[in-house]
Amino acid sequence: MTPRRALISVVAGALLLSGCHRKDPERARAKAEFERVRAAYEKRRAELGQKGAPEPTRAASSAEADEKPRAAPEPPGSSSPSPRRDAPWLADVPVDIAPPAQATATSRGVVMNTRDGEVLVARLGRLPRGAATKTPVEPTPPGAGNFGLGYGPGVADDAAYFISHGSLVRRSLPARGAPGPLQVLARDAFDGTRVAVPIPVPGKALAPIPPTIAYVVRPEKEDGPLLAKLWVENEDAQVLTAAGNSTHSVALVHTEEGVLALSVQARMAMTPVHARRVRFPSRHPLLGDDTVVWVGGGIQSLTEMTVVPTETGLVGLIPHERSMSEFGIARLDIGQNPTMDTPTTWKLYPNGIDPAPVAAARLCGEAVFFFTEPEMAAPGSPQELVVEALSDPEGSRSLSVARGKAFYFLSIAEVPGGALLVWVTDAVTAACTVRCQTHPK
């Protein structure tokens, strides 16, 4: 299976889903469109399986299903979570802020881009004090924005970067007032893919860099390899993918030396993860050598790696199969100097799910990850949205924030006093604030 084929369901699942407004007839039409695209997605997934593509662990065996009754799916959205273990955080009441949208959590609020290239911001208010209360994020007005389901924009340097109609574009985000005009930065971007902005390593003297973005390029021919490019302000874009390789998704980390690019390569039989340093002598990008830091099994259609800096170095999180009967999150302890000997541990789920979104950030002074997992091994089990401390392999310090049938995209951003969490289902974009109960480290 070529990288192009590996991304077919990404495009189907992430771009073709129609946005919906809050009026009942429009919501009904959007729901029908979602069901149509989901049926096409499942058909395409079955076709890829018949052609030898690896099948993910999606359901329990018949014996397992017989042992436990099938749980009735719950509607997606902001249902009340079940109690969670000894978490040092407090979750406020989630709010629905928009129809399914390309949404990203930021310290200012939820930044969303539309299919028309517009940018809307659901502003975050002051975090409350005391007991749990309504999350202070204002919803978008009814009918605002021609939203679609897909990856949220990358937000950095007071600007939102995203893909619109085959172009890498940018809109400035002033502290007050409306976003700035649309700027086209490149015209060779691949629709349905995520734009990567540099994630700063906390507590370090970071190297000065110009505005820098990584994105996946549209193939020049059918079934051509997917490549990533590095766009730097006032420079010609450079191909970031090493010769002979391809790139399914890419992340950037802002370091003391410049930028570290981490990419996932799409192959039928394995999933290599690559690392490549970029330095900026005289503010001009200079690409270093490419290093393979990890190799997993066959790629899945929505697989991408989430990166989070910790006190000991970088950690990569990849939802993946560990074996034919096991599925979960592979934790790659990449450290400060990526090598081929990356230690890997697993957080296994009761069952496989697809998509299996993961996001990560810092919360109250420590690295956390935000993920969705099935509650039980039974097919059709409801899913739970969970925030968990990365330093706690037993999962005892975790917090449940919502339950639902399926979640497609997650985002988390640190804010003063806590974090802002955003998730997207087939019916709604929702947000929740999580607050510190102890003094941040």
**Would you state the structure tokens that stand for residue 137, as one six-digit string?**
């994020």
* DSSP β-ladder status, 358-363 and 409-415: unpaired
Give Cβ neighbours of residue 372 (< 8 Å, ≥ 6 apart): 353, 356, 357, 383, 384, 385, 386, 407, 410, 423
pLDDT per residue as tens, the chain (441 positions): 343 333 333 433 443 333 333 334 434 444 444 454 455 444 434 443 333 333 333 333 223 333 333 333 343 344 544 445 567 899 999 999 999 999 999 999 999 999 999 999 999 999 988 999 999 999 998 888 899 989 999 999 899 999 999 999 999 999 888 999 999 999 999 999 999 999 999 888 999 999 999 999 999 888 888 999 999 999 999 999 999 899 989 999 999 999 999 999 867 678 899 999 999 998 899 999 999 999 988 766 567 899 999 878 899 999 988 888 899 999 999 998 999 999 999 999 999 888 899 999 999 989 999 999 999 998 889 999 999 999 887 777 899 999 999 999 999 999 999 999 999 999 999 999 999 986 555
Peptide bond into 355 cis (omega under 30): yes
Q: What is the pLDDT of residue 204?
A: 85
Report the predicted TM-score, pTM, of the whole model to 2 decimal places: 0.81
CATH of domain 3-436: 2.130.10
User: Which residue intervals of 114-158 are DSSP H helices?
Assistant: none
Q: What is the pLDDT of residue 91?
A: 95
End-to-end CA distance of the chain: 46
Sheet of 259-264, strands arranged across: 198-200, 249-254, 259-264, 271-279, 286-296
The answer to whether 276 and 326 are in contact (CB under 8 A) is no
Q: What is the pLDDT of residue 301?
A: 59
- Alpha carbons 409 and 44: distance in angstroms, whole number: 21
Q: How many CB atoms lie within 10 A of CB 144?
A: 17
- Alpha carbons 335 and 283: distance in angstroms, whole number: 26
The torsion region of residue 332 among left (phi > 0), alpha (psi -120 to 50) and beta comes to beta
**Would you state the structure tokens that stand for residue 284, as one six-digit string?**
């001009």
Looking at residue 244, the DSSP 8-state letter turns out to be T
3-class SS of residue 328:
strand
Q: What is the pLDDT of residue 35?
A: 52
Q: Domains of the chain: which residue ranges?
A: 3-436
| Burial class of residue 71, CB neighbours in 10 A (0-12, 13-18, 19+) | middle
| Burial class of residue 59, CB neighbours in 10 A (0-12, 13-18, 19+) | middle
Q: What is the pLDDT of residue 407?
A: 95
**Would you state the structure tokens that stand for residue 13, as one six-digit string?**
């699942």
